[in-house]
Amino acid sequence: MIWVDYSVYKFSTSGYARAFYDSRINEIKQGGGYEEISISGCFAFKEDYGFENKFGTSICLKNNVVYIVDATASRTYKGIDSFLKDATTILANKV
């Protein structure tokens, strides 16, 4: 099973959006315990707990908008990377 959650934050200026984006990324990097995924224009990472659970998140900045995609895959051997990339692309085309 796969779950995807989308969050979109629109700020009054691109500076406020950048500050929020940077804050989220710094918080994640300080926590550690993840593997980065390459998604153009986004900071993306995954946590893989084997067959039972895989988690992936992408945080993207576009002008004065920050959008976040959280994907969870459960009971599958397939990696979360492709699910997260597809979900991020869908949202990027809408923002």
Dump pLDDT digits (tens) for 69-95: 999 988 877 778 888 999 999 999 988
Phi, psi angle pair for 52, to nearest 5°: -70, -45
The CATH number for 2-92, chosen from 3.40.1000.10, 3.10.20.600, 3.10.20.740, 3.30.342.10, is 3.40.1000.10
18-42 in b/e form (b: 16+ CB < 10 A) is eeebeebeeebeeeeebeebebeeb
Averaged pLDDT score across all residues of the chain: 91
Cα dihedral sign, 92-68-31-81: negative
pLDDT at site 47: 85
Dist. CA 81–CA 46, nearest whole Å: 8
Instruction: Give 95's DSSP letter.
Output: -
Report the predicted TM-score, pTM, of the whole model to 2 decimal places: 0.88
